Amino acid sequence: MLEPTVTMQEKTITPAPLPRSPQETPQSAAASAAAIRVSELSSWYGDFQALHSISLNVPERRVTAFIGPSGCGKSTLLRWFNRMNDTIAGARCTGTAMLGELDLLARSTDVVDLRRRIGIVFQKPNPFPKSIFENVAFGPRLHMRCSKSELQDLVEWALRKAAVWDEVKDRLHAPALGLSGGQQQRLCIARAIAVGPEVLLMDEPCSALDPASTLAVEDLIFELRQQYTIIIVTHNMQQAARCSDQTAFFYEGRLVEVGPTEQVFTKPARKQTEDYVTGKFG
Amino acid sequence: MSQPHPGSPNPPESVGPPESVGQPESGDQPESKSALGREPLAAQSPAAQSPAVRLREGRGRIRLNVAFFALCVATAAISVLTLIFLLSSILREGVPYLTPTLMTSGPQPVPEEAGIWPALTGTIWVCTLCGLLTLPIGIATAILLEEFRPRNRWGAMFHGLIQLNITNLAGVPSVVYGILGLTAFVGMFGLFQVPGASGAPAFEQGVQYYDQFFSEGERAVLVPVADRDAPMSEVREGMTAYDVDLEPIEVHVIEPGGDYPEDPEVLAYTLFSDAEAGRIDKRAWYYFRLPFGRGVLTGALTLMLVILPIVIISSQEALRAVPSSLRDGARGLGATPWQVVWNVSLPAAIPGIMTGAILAMSRAIGEAAPILIIAGIVYISRGPQHLMDDFTVMPMQIFNWTGRPQEGFHGIAAAAIIVLLLILLSFNAVAVLIRQKLQKPLS
């Protein structure tokens, strides 16, 4: 499945950087390099401090899970990475978050380009009220000029990548809102990866889905981590345990503990973490 | 449920009956005797119920329900019956006057010969132009107010001020806009007034002035002059002259008291050398002037003022109805604010915007008051020819006819009302169609 599409990709997107294929970037080499380095990040909504001096490294091409009870700031942190908080009145932050050499939080950063490099999938599937094809083609159309056939190849590539191609290939021009919740969410993932991001942010991507769809999306996340750095916010601790490599536990706006998932779930260093992952609160 | 469950997961406030459980009666629970288990609402005997949760008597409740329903039906019936009564009286009076003459002729002193053609074309001109002006401005304003909300304090205050203004402007009587239109568009605050020459526009484009003579053959001879204030042209043999259709002609000049030429063709364009002319003008379809004067453009701009707040508010509501998750989705893909508006918000909101705009347009079609102030002319025998041309509109014509003492004019006014109503109904039908065809679920 990958071979033909990779060649398509190479010819397709000249103006913008492309989703890299596994062949191009061997996984072992940069396995533990940090994709996003967060240091001393504090954030406020008006007078309310939502995050207290968070420092954290998000490893490249790994799944990092943010867990914690509601209101602990994990979504806030996630939404600073691609500046979705910019639209919220009164939201501000201090500290730095670096993607390579790019300061994600700087005022001068080109937010539009940043969001192309760091894609986001939301809690509730939010396909546009357009056809399935148009949904996936939406992102590429924003950023690059490509011919109709190139666009078709790109859409197919993204839909295959998001493991939803087989279900929608016969009705690409049917309304996306006619899909089931799980299919819609995978369509949203396809839409996000169609612009060739390096990082995928997922804000509780499965909380609005049924168990079967959840499983499909989790499998997909597992699959995608070969190429993308993934950060997933979740309430579901089994989910974090199942599909993440690194887990960060947040509580009341503070980063309590971060480490390899197995360690956080089996031998947590902090009492709070242990109480949370064993279900004593939260 | 008559037996209390000592082990039931009651919150501590609703303790079971003390006598059965054997607890000492707590002082802060005076009603605890009547609290039966965990579903006190379902308790059977009224005596056992606490006053706070006593069931309401069934009969009264149902009777109130029936009475309210009857009230709703009655009020709805009153409005519908009033409408039917009005419509039927207009139809009875107007239908006999719905003739081809009505559609093709202009205002006449005799009701049987009068028609609505100038008013109808005037309405079409003014409302089309008004729509073309209002839609872009209204939608753009709504987008600014909804999609580009400022986030700093002063910006938010300014935003709130504008919003408050627009909401209030929607409630201003239209006659006030007529006065505003008179100042701002008809006279343009006197900015372009020529000193001395009263009423003359300071700037004109697409107009040619002529001196009009009447020849001895009783035909008009037009002699072009440079401008409105040029000196009267002198009659001489071989001067440049045109007939009424602006075809070049040869003018024959004779001395006062001289003999008329024999040939009727020559006589047709024969002038006495002391002939006197009147100055007329011919305006092209692209005629433009400053200030705008009492023309079609002024009418459209004034009606624009009337309906702009309505269009803005309805467009804002349509934009607000677009779920913000869609905007977030586009933003998350790296869309610029403009791309979010153009590709997501606007397509999703356009059915609502169009519906609101069409309903606003149907209000503009029915407005008489502002037009009465800025135009005030009813006796126009032809439709507008250019943007600055004099015009009248249907409501004005109807208003004028209903004020006449003759019975026939009342009938013809009723017929005009029928035509106006048909236009309005077809507008609303289009609005409904758009709503049904284009509106689709957004999430």
Which pLDDT tens digit goes with each residue over B80-113? Answer: 999 999 999 999 999 998 989 888 888 888 888 8
Min Cα separation A167/chain B (Å):
20
What backbone torsions phi and psi does residue B245 show, to the nearest 5 degrees? -90, 10
Cβ pair B332:A120 closer than 8 A:
yes
Q: Which tokens go with A218?
A: 């989790």
Measured CA to CA, the distance from residue B142 to residue B353 in angstroms comes to: 10
Measured CA to CA, the distance from residue A151 to residue A8 in angstroms comes to: 10
Cα dihedral: A22, A26, A30, A31 (round 10):
70
Q: How far is CA B44 from CA B10, B35, B48, B51, B58, in A?
A: 19, 12, 8, 14, 15
End-to-end CA distance of chain A: 42
Amino acid sitting at position B407:
E
Q: How far is CA B69 from the centre of its chain?
A: 35
Count of Cβ atoms closer than 10 Å to residue B345 Cβ: 22
Query: Dihedral sign, CA of A268, A270, A272, A273?
Result: negative
Q: What is the arithmetic mean of pLDDT over B35-54?
A: 53
pLDDT band at A133 (very low <50, low <70, confident <90, very high): very high
Measured CA to CA, the distance from residue B347 to residue B322 in angstroms comes to: 10
Measured CA to CA, the distance from residue B106 to residue B436 in angstroms comes to: 39
∠ CA B267-B271-B276, rounded to 5° = 145
Enclosing H/E stretch for A168 = helix A165-168
Question: Reduced to 3 states, what is the DSSP secondary structure of residue B229?
Answer: coil
Measured CA to CA, the distance from residue A103 to residue A210 in angstroms comes to: 37
* The listed CATH number (1.10.3470.10, 3.30.2130.10, 1.20.120.1200, 1.10.3720.10) that belongs to domain B103-186+293-438: 1.10.3720.10
Residue of chain B whose Cα is closest to the Cα of A80: B332
- Segments making up each domain of chain B, as ranges: 18-53, 58-96, 103-186+293-438, 203-289
Cβ pair B334:A115 closer than 8 A:
yes
Instruction: Check CB contact of B441 with chain A, cutoff 8 Å.
Output: yes
Is the pLDDT assigned to residue B157 strictly greater than 90? yes
Measured CA to CA, the distance from residue A90 to residue A48 in angstroms comes to: 10
Amino acid sitting at position B362:
S
List of chain B residues whose C-beta atoms are within 8 Å of the C-beta of residue A191: 329, 333
Residue A251 bridge partners (DSSP): A254
Residue of chain B whose Cα is closest to the Cα of A128: B326
Q: Is-contact B430 B346, C-beta < 8 A?
A: no
Q: Which tokens go with B323?
A: 């779920």
What backbone torsions phi and psi does residue A250 show, to the nearest 5 degrees? -110, 145
Q: Which residues 99-138 of chain B have a CB within 8 Å of chain A?
A: none
Q: What is the arithmetic mean of pLDDT over B21-49?
A: 47
Cβ pair A191:B329 closer than 8 A:
yes
Measured CA to CA, the distance from residue A67 to residue B236 in angstroms comes to: 101
Query: Who contacts B294 (Cβ-Cβ below 8 Å, separation ≥6)?
Result: B186, B374, B375, B376, B377, B390
Q: Which tokens go with B177?
A: 């806009």
Candidate from A82, A124, A142 with C-beta closest to B335: A142
Asked if CATH classification 3.30.70.920 holds for the domain at A2-11+36-277, the reply, yes or no, is: no
List of chain A residues whose C-beta atoms are within 8 Å of the C-beta of residue B343: 138, 142
Among B152, B325, B333, the strongest candidate for a mutation testing the A interface, having the largest count of A CBs within 10 A, is: B333
Q: Which residues 32-91 of chain B have a CB within 8 Å of chain A?
A: none
- Percentage above 70 pLDDT, chain A: 88
Min Cα separation A264/chain B (Å):
30
Is the pLDDT assigned to residue B12 strictly greater than 50? no
Highest mean pLDDT: which range of A118-127, A216-225, B202-211: A118-127
Least confident of A232-241, A267-276, B26-35: B26-35
Rg, Å, chain B Cα set: 36
Least confident of A157-161, B236-240, B313-317, B364-368: B236-240
pLDDT of residue B195: 65
Q: Is-contact A226 A173, C-beta < 8 A?
A: no
Min Cα separation A186/chain B (Å):
14
Cβ pair B151:A89 closer than 8 A:
yes
pLDDT band at A39 (very low <50, low <70, confident <90, very high): very high
Residue of chain B whose Cα is closest to the Cα of A139: B333
Least confident of A83-97, A115-129, A187-201, B182-196: B182-196
From chain A, which residues contact B within 8 Å (Cβ)?
82, 84, 87, 89-90, 112-116, 119-120, 122, 124, 126-129, 138-139, 142-143, 175, 177, 188, 191-192, 195
pLDDT band at B198 (very low <50, low <70, confident <90, very high): low
DSSP state of B95: G
Q: Which tokens go with B166?
A: 């627009």
Q: What is the arithmetic mean of pLDDT over B285-308?
A: 90
- Segments making up each domain of chain A, as ranges: 2-11+36-277
pLDDT of residue B1: 39
Please report which residue ranges of B209-268 form alpha helices under DSSP H.
264-268
List of chain B residues whose C-beta atoms are within 8 Å of the C-beta of residue A139: 333-334
